[in-house]
Every structure is written in structure tokens, then in C-alpha cells.
């Protein structure tokens, strides 16, 4: 493709039906001339180059853009000389064919734990009631636990107005901060039971209080084994946490997930439900109201809850890791 301000149009004559009398085999005969791209006759090479451009970052082309929009992409293609002029609707149609959406983005964390596969596999096995290749017994339990930090109490300057016909709930934008809780919770994966507590801050001592809260109750107190799935937060990180908690409870097994893989911890699903259903919009006069809401929501949720339908298996994990490996190979 040329980098000049020339467009590609076909040299063939039009037939009586209004279509070119040439075939796709005539593509080498496309010529350059200073004109618009002929409607419906864009050469495959141009389409490929536009799509390739959309799959690159604007910064790689020294443009002060975070991501492409269709108009910016069309403008740059013209400035670069790929085409003299092109409509945004045509460009969008080309991208739509391959579901390329350069104007969209999402955040993600690239797994960097060298032992990711083994650690993730242990969690997935526990969700299927398997540990080290053996089925769990009826007296074995699996707990998923973590902390949800900085749950604020925001007292709105003006009272919240309830919904009305053709009017949504109205929540005042301005608010007064009335403090924040750290919410610690544990979820029984197979029994759909939730245990929670509010603490002024997270840490080893508050987390140990959550463990005591659960392990002091039946059936966990007399269980054969209680597996606690946790991430690598400072409250329960590494071998020290294992020695501390397993030394205190002989039937407790602390199981760490991979680094930066909280999406494998089912308690995060519960936290997302709490955020949507109990904490949004945030309108609480004080911290006591937040704590009461969380306690009442635990009761409400348990009354209707079922074990989460977890579908990500070891097979899916293998596919996921192969995609990551392919990504690394392309990057190299």
C-alpha cells in the first residue's frame, strides 16, 4: 500500500447492471488516483490494513490518544495516506465484521505467580469437593474468606427521595463522611452459609476473630477438616499464617490462591452482591447503620441463597493458561 494521499479505485468499466465487469482476480489491476474510494469497491488490502491499525495502540503511532475512536481512526488512515477519504460508517462496518472495538477497554491483571496452575487447580478441586485427588467426606467443609475494606458511611446533605412515576430514586451528590468499616466475611461454599463482622480496620487480629467466629460453631468445631480459601493479603499471607491458624485449630487447612487471582475466590462473588444490593446507593447517617445493614443482609441472603453455580473447571484453566502462553509468544 502506498503512503501517498492516493486512494484505491478500480479501473474496470461498469456493466449495464451497474456492477463492475471485472472479477476478484482483477485486484492487481487496481490503480492509484486522487479520488474517493469507490463505494463497495474497497480492496481487501485496505480493509486488512485498517483492521491492523485498529488493533494497535495510538501511542505506538505517537498520537496523544488513549484509545481509538472511529473518527480518529478514519482521520489517521487519511493522514497516513492509506486512503484519500473514508466515511466513519464504512470504517465501522469493516471493524464490525471482525468484532473489533478499539474504543472499548477493560482492566485485567496478568497472572504472574510462577505456581499459578497448581494453586488455582487446588481451589477448583475444592469447589468440586476434591482434595489431593480424593473426594471430600461429609464431615469436610470449604470456606472462602476475605476482607472488603473501606465501606464508608456517607450521610447525604439532602434526604434521599424515593422513586415516583417516571422518576427514579434521587440521591444527593454531596455528603458528609461518617467513618468507614472493614467488612470481613466467610462463605461456606457448599452449604451457602455466610459469616461476617465489621472491624475498624483489617489485619491479623481482626481476621483471626473471624476465624474464631466460624470455627467455634458447629459443624466446623467438630469437623474432620475445614479448608479456608484465602488470597495473599497481609492478614493471612504465607507460611506464618498457616502455622498460626493451623496451630490454633487442628482441623483447619489454610489454602492460598495464586497471587492476583481473587476472581478464583468465591467470597468475591458475595462481596459484589453486597455492594450492589446493600451498599449502593450509599446513604447512611452513621457507622452503626452500615453495620446493621450488613448484619441484616447476611440474614436476608442466607434465607434465599444457594451455593454459587461455579462453572470454571480445571479444563477451563488449561485453556486459559494456553491463551496466556500464546499471548506471551506473540508479545515476544
Quote the crossing angle between the two packed helices 88-97 and 70-80, to the nearest 10°.
100
And the C-alpha cell for 61? 503511532
User: Please, which pLDDT band fits residue 42 given cuts at 50, 70 and 90?
Assistant: low
Omega before 92 within 30 of 0, i.e. cis: no
Q: Give this prediction's pTM.
A: 0.78
Least reliable range by pLDDT among 39-43, 67-71, 117-121? 39-43
Domain membership flag for residue 111: no
pLDDT at 23: 43
Domain membership flag for residue 31: yes
Nearest to 236 by CA among 206, 266, 204, 259: 204
Residue range 297-313, pLDDT digits in tens: 999 999 999 999 999 99
- Which residue, of 97, 131, 146, is where some domain finishes? 97
- Which residue, of 42, 65, 97, is where some domain finishes? 97
Residue range 244-280, pLDDT digits in tens: 999 999 999 999 999 989 899 999 999 999 999 999 9
The per-residue pLDDT of the chain, averaged, comes to: 88
Residue range 114-129, pLDDT digits in tens: 899 999 999 999 999 9
252 plus 309 within the same structural domain: yes
**Is the predicted pLDDT of residue 221 greater than 80, yes or no?**
yes
Alpha carbon distance 26, 8 (integer Å): 13
Residue range 115-164, pLDDT digits in tens: 999 999 999 999 999 999 999 999 999 999 999 999 999 999 999 999 99
124 plus 90 within the same structural domain: no
**Is the predicted pLDDT of residue 37 greater than 90, yes or no?**
no
189 plus 258 within the same structural domain: yes
Alpha carbon distance 251, 166 (integer Å): 56
What residues make up the domain containing 201?
A: 116-323
Domain membership flag for residue 281: yes
Positive or negative: CA dihedral 108, 236, 120, 214? negative
Alpha carbon distance 14, 19 (integer Å): 5
And the C-alpha cell for 143? 470456606
Q: Quick check: 74 and 92 in contact, CB under 8 A?
A: no
User: Please, which pLDDT band fits residue 185 given cuts at 50, 70 and 90?
Assistant: very high
User: Please, which pLDDT band fits residue 22 given cuts at 50, 70 and 90?
Assistant: very low
Mean pLDDT throughout 65-86?
A: 93
Cα-flanking dihedrals φ and ψ of residue 85, to 5°?
-160, 150
**Is the predicted pLDDT of residue 111 greater than 90, yes or no?**
no
- The residue among 131 and 331 whose pLDDT is bigger is 131
Alpha carbon distance 91, 73 (integer Å): 8
Cα-flanking dihedrals φ and ψ of residue 155, to 5°?
-85, 115
- CATH number at 155 reads 3.30.420.10
Q: How many domains does the chain have?
A: 2
**Is the predicted pLDDT of residue 228 greater than 60, yes or no?**
yes
Alpha carbon distance 282, 326 (integer Å): 43
88 plus 174 within the same structural domain: no
66 plus 122 within the same structural domain: no
DSSP secondary structure letter of residue 216:
T
pLDDT at 29: 40
121 plus 75 within the same structural domain: no
149 plus 199 within the same structural domain: yes
Alpha carbon distance 72, 287 (integer Å): 48
pLDDT > 90 fraction of the chain, expressed in percent and rounded: 77
Nearest to 206 by CA among 216, 198, 215, 194: 198
Amino acid at each position: 500500500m502506498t503512503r501517498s494521499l492516493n486512494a484505491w479505485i478500480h479501473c474496470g468499466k461498469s456493466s449495464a447492471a451497474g456492477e463492475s465487469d471485472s472479477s476478484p482476480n482483477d485486484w492487481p489491476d487496481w490503480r492509484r488516483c486522487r479520488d474517493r474510494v469507490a463505494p463497495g469497491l474497497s480492496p481487501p488490502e485496505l480493509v486488512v490494513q485498517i483492521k491492523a491499525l485498529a488493533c494497535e495502540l495510538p501511542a505506538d503511532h505517537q498520537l496523544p490518544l488513549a484509545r481509538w475512536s472511529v473518527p480518529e481512526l478514519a482521520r489517521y488512515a487519511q493522514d497516513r495516506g492509506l486512503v484519500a477519504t473514508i466515511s466513519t460508517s464504512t470504517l465501522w462496518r469493516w471493524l464490525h465484521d471482525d468484532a473489533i472495538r478499539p474504543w472499548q477497554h477493560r482492566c485485567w491483571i496478568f497472572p504472574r505467580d510462577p505456581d499459578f496452575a497448581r494453586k488455582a487447580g487446588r481451589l477448583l478441586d475444592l469447589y468440586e469437593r476434591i482434595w489431593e485427588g480424593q473426594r471430600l467426606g461429609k464431615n469436610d467443609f470449604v470456606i472462602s474468606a476475605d476482607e472488603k475494606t473501606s465501606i464508608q458511611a456517607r450521610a447525604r446533605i439532602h434526604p434521599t427521595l424515593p422513586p415516583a412515576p417516571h422518576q427514579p430514586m434521587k440521591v444527593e451528590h454531596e455528603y458528609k463522611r461518617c467513618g468507614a468499616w472493614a467488612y470481613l466475611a466467610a462463605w461456606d461454599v457448599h452449604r451457602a452459609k455466610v459469616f461476617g463482622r465489621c472491624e475498624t480496620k483489617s489485619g491479623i487480629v481482626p481476621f483471626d476473630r473471624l476465624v474464631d467466629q466460624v470455627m467455634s460453631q458447629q459443624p466446623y468445631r467438630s469437623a474432620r477438616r475445614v479448608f479456608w480459601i484465602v488470597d495473599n493479603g497481609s492478614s493471612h499471607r504465607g507460611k506464618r499464617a498457616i502455622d498460626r491458624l493451623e496451630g490454633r485449630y487442628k482441623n483447619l487447612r489454610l489454602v492460598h490462591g495464586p497471587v492476583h487471582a481473587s476472581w478464583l475466590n468465591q467470597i468475591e462473588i458475595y462481596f459484589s452482591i453486597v455492594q450492589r444490593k446493600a451498599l449502593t446507593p450509599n446513604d447512611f447517617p452513621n457507622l452503626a447503620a452500615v453495620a446493621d445493614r450488613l448484619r441484616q443482609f447476611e440474614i436476608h441472603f442466607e434465607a434465599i441463597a444457594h451455593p454459587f453455580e461455579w462453572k470454571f473447571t480445571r479444563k477451563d484453566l488449561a485453556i486459559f493458561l494456553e491463551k496466556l502462553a500464546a499471548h506471551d509468544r506473540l508479545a515476544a
